[in-house]
Every structure is written in C-alpha cells, then in structure tokens.
Structure 1
Amino acid sequence: MILTTTNSIEGFKIADYKGIVTGVAINEEKLSMGFSMSKYYKALQGSIDTTKEIAFNTLTENAKKIGANAIVGIKVEIEILATNYAVVAVTGTAVTVAQ
C-alpha cells in the first residue's frame, strides 16, 4: 500500500478513485505526569506514536476493504484530550494506481 500526503504519486497514474477513508485511534492508556514534566512529555510522545500507528493501520485496512492499493492526500490530526488521552485521526483518498 502506497501512502502519501501529496495528491499524486510520481511514476504512477491514478486509475480509479475509491473514496475517502479514515483511521481513528485513541490511546486509552492513562498518562501520568508524576513529578517530572520531561517524564510526562516522554509518555505523551510514546502515546502519540503508538496511537498514530494504530490509526494508520486502520486507514490502510479500510482502503484495502474497498479495493485500493494507495492512499493520496493524507491528513493527520492529533489531539490530546483534557483527560490526557491521545487521539489521532488520519484521512485520505483511497485510489487504485498503476505504473
């Protein structure tokens, strides 16, 4: 699966537009600030990285379900809720490409 934030893929032609796909994930692991801000930021970064990976996996699986072999125009939104949960939403256009 080819994933890109651009609207085209060099060397490939978009043969068919399959539709908009989304991958959303929330890391339910509660973050604890403890006594150190650096500890908090390290935990927060790990939470975002893990949650982003889950969201991209969901995005890819949703594109595969509709017969796509690439996703173009990907946008990533990251939000930290007041409860210290990391939420990541990834959206793009699922397409079929050929060389």
Structure 2
Amino acid sequence: MILTTTPNIENFKIVDYLGIVTGTAYNTSYSYKGNKISFKDMFNTSKYYKAYAEGLESLKEQAFQNLKDNALKLGANAVVGIQLDVEPLATSATVLVSITGTAVKVE
C-alpha cells in the first residue's frame, strides 16, 4: 500500500477515489509496549523523553496500520493527502494519534 501526504503519486494515475479513511491509536504517554515509566524516572529528563518518544512512535505505527486496514476494506491500494494529528487528552496522561487521508485506487 502506498501512503503519501501529497495529493497525488508520481508515476501513478488515480483511477478511483474511494473515500476518507482514518486510523487512530491512543495510550498513556508514560508507557511503551506495556511498560510504564516509573515515578522516579519521570524526573529523569532523558529517560522520560526516551519513553515518551518510543511510546509515540508505537502509537503512530498502530494508527498507520489501522489506516491501512480501513483503506483495504474499501478496496484501496493507496492513501493520499495523509494528515497526522497528535493530541494529549485533557486532564489525563493519554495521547491520541489520528491519521486521516483519502483512500484511492491507482494504476
């Protein structure tokens, strides 16, 4: 599956627009692969940022996989115009990753 932020794909022709697709994933910003950062490590800047970055990467991968799955359900072989949004949910340590694009058939 081709994924791109651009509205078209070089050397490919879009033959059908199938609809808007979204992939989302959320989790606490203090965990990665089920391992939570300790309270003590929250005050260690390098460990905190490393855990946060690894957790965010994992969430983005989950969201992209959900996006691809939803596009495949529509019969797409590409998604164009992808936009990624990362939002902390109010009053919690949870981060939401949302990816949206247009599912298309290309040849």
Whether TM-score is above 0.5 comes out as yes
Q: What do you get for the CA RMSD once the two structures are aligned?
A: 1.5
Written as runs of structure 1 = structure 2, the 5 A alignment for 1:56-95 is 56-81=64-89, 82-95=91-104
Q: Which runs of 4+ in 1 moved over 6 A?
A: none
* TM-score when normalising by structure 1: 0.90
User: Which residue in the other structure is 1:37 paired with?
Assistant: 45
**TM score, norm. by length of structure 2:** 0.84
C-alpha separation in 1, matches of 2:16 and 2:73: 15
The answer on 1:55 being equivalent to 2:63 is yes
Residues in 2 aligned to 1:44 and 1:28: alpha-carbon distance in whole angstroms: 9
Structure 2, unmatched stretches of 5+, are 32-36
* Identity across the alignment (%): 52
Deviation at 1:91, TM superposition (A): 0.1
Question: Would the alpha carbon gap of residues 41 and 30 (structure 1) be closer, same or farther in structure 2, given more than 3 Å must change?
Answer: closer
Q: How far apart in 1 are the matches of 2:103 and 2:28?
A: 28
